[in-house]
Homo-oligomer: A and B are copies of this chain.
Amino acid sequence: MRVEILCTGDEILTGKTVNTNYSHIARRLVDVGLGVHWGTTVGDDRESLLQAFRQAGERADAVIVNGGLGPTVDDLSQEVAAQAAGVELELSDYWLKRMEESYARRGRAMPPNNRKQALLPANAEFIDNPIGTACGFAVTIGKARFFFTPGVPREMRRMLDEQVLPRLLALGGIKGVSRLKRFHTFGIGESRADQMLGDMPAFQNGGGIKLGFQAHYPQLETKLALSGEDDGDLAARLAPVEAEVRRRLGNFIIAEDDQTLEGVILGKLLERGASLATAEMFTGGHLAARLAPLAGAEKVFRRGLVARHAGELDASGVNPDAAAAAAQTLRERSGASHALVVLIDLDEDAGASTDRPDFGGTICIGLADAGGAIARQARLLGGRDWVRIGATELGLDCLRRHLLGLPVDERIDFERR
């Protein structure tokens, strides 16, 4: 089955907004084994939209359209879809009522221009948007089935997974089931991960499992994609391969599937009835921001300190001893069972540059618990933002490793010594 993605909107067309909706939709299509064959971007312009719908309708079997379902006059997707499908627009009483109720629940009257969002091409298949006012729908144009989704990312993502992908799989006559097993690692780059796993028989031609990587610095996602007859079949084939991947990637695996590094840490702390205090320099709250907002963190996260100077964090300088001592002090003052301190000594010529691959900093991490305090030092390069992101991850990973009884000073690929 040939699937295309069609993104609409002047913001996307003119590059003011980087098109991350496109890459999200494309990755999900690849994940479920459908793939993507063509991408089109057009603006909020009737003529271009009509031409794009017609051309995609000639080339493809299915098209996912993103954007243009909003309440303003430049949102044209429903109108042009109706024109291309050769039908009229009809008011959906159901959707109008849903919108009015949604506004009423929030104690507001629906603005009159939202009414436009309830106009759908006649006989369109309704695709529910449980979290927004832009109604999704499907129509046939040419030889392709078109699925219309809103441009708001969280609405699009939920509708894609819950409603559009199942319809696409049914349309493609794909009966079996597919599965995507994901490992998240910190500390190894894509080429090294490929070297560590690439020779496994399951990943060769005919091995039945597709190996893929997705780098989101500083994490790397390793994906195993497979499809089969039923869940039992998938589980039986996946189990030994999963175990081998776990063995090979070892301590670098910070989380699997929908887990996050911060979620794993929180889980471990909750399990032990432990509590945590953090202190950070330059990472500017990013460490606390990963942990503190999590559901359940109110039982664990005691206190976070953010500063630009080591002295504000009770550290006598930026070195391993100072970091360990600051963690001890923080633990005592906060009354938390665990304390994590991340200090940074940035290179002199930091300036305002955010894109200097040769610019870096020295990170000193201190960890304290009832057993005492330890420290870890590392030098990271790659410019201001990369050092900050890397330092945050390194701090969290040290805590994870310490909680799991793993070595905290295993060398990572991003590190210079």
Contacts and interface: CB of A to CB of B under 8 A. Distances in A.
Given A15-B27, A26-B14, A212-B10, A282 B293 contact: yes
Contacts of A388: 293
Contacts of A312: 302-303
Given A190-B70, A306-B306, A289 B289 contact: yes
Interface stretch (A39-47, A84-92, A318-326, A393-401): A39-47
Given A285-B288, A288-B285, A304-B306, A19 B17 contact: no
Interface stretch (A136-144, A226-234, A347-355, A362-370): A347-355
Contacts of A355: 131, 154, 158
Contacts of A42: 37-39
A72 interface: yes
Interface in A1-36: 7, 10-11, 13-20, 22-27, 29-30, 35-36
Contact of A297 (B190, B213, B308): B308
A395 B107 CA distance: 23
A77 interface: no
B292 A111 contact: no
Contacts of A170: none
Given A284-B289, A306-B292, A307-B304, A190 B18 contact: no
A55 B58 CA distance: 12
A295 interface: yes
Contacts of A114: 191
A183 to B, nearest CB: 14
A259 to B, nearest CB: 14
A390 B106 CA distance: 16
Interface residues of A, number: 97
A40 B37 contact: no
A214 B289 contact: no
Given A13-B39, A23-B17, A190-B71, A285 B306 contact: yes
Contacts of A59: 51
A237 interface: no
A297 B292 CA distance: 23
Interface in A139-197: 152, 154, 158, 180, 190-192, 194-195
Contact of A288 (B107, B152, B191, B288): B288
Contacts of A35: 14
Interface in A196-227: 198, 212-215, 223
A127 interface: no
Nearest to A43: B37
Given A212-B74, A286-B285, A293-B388, A24 B20 contact: no
Given A13-B26, A114-B191, 16 more contacts: A11-B214, A15-B30, A38-B42, A38-B48, A39-B39, A283-B293, A284-B289, A284-B297, A284-B301, A285-B289, A286-B289, A288-B306, A301-B306, A301-B308, A304-B307, A306-B306
20 contacts: A14-B36, A15-B23, A17-B23, A18-B18, A18-B20, A18-B23, A39-B41, A40-B41, A73-B194, A74-B212, A102-B357, A107-B416, A113-B195, A154-B355, A283-B293, A284-B304, A285-B285, A292-B306, A292-B307, A301-B308
Closest 8 CB pairs of A and B: A15-B26, A284-B292, A39-B41, A285-B288, A304-B306, A15-B23, A284-B293, A285-B289
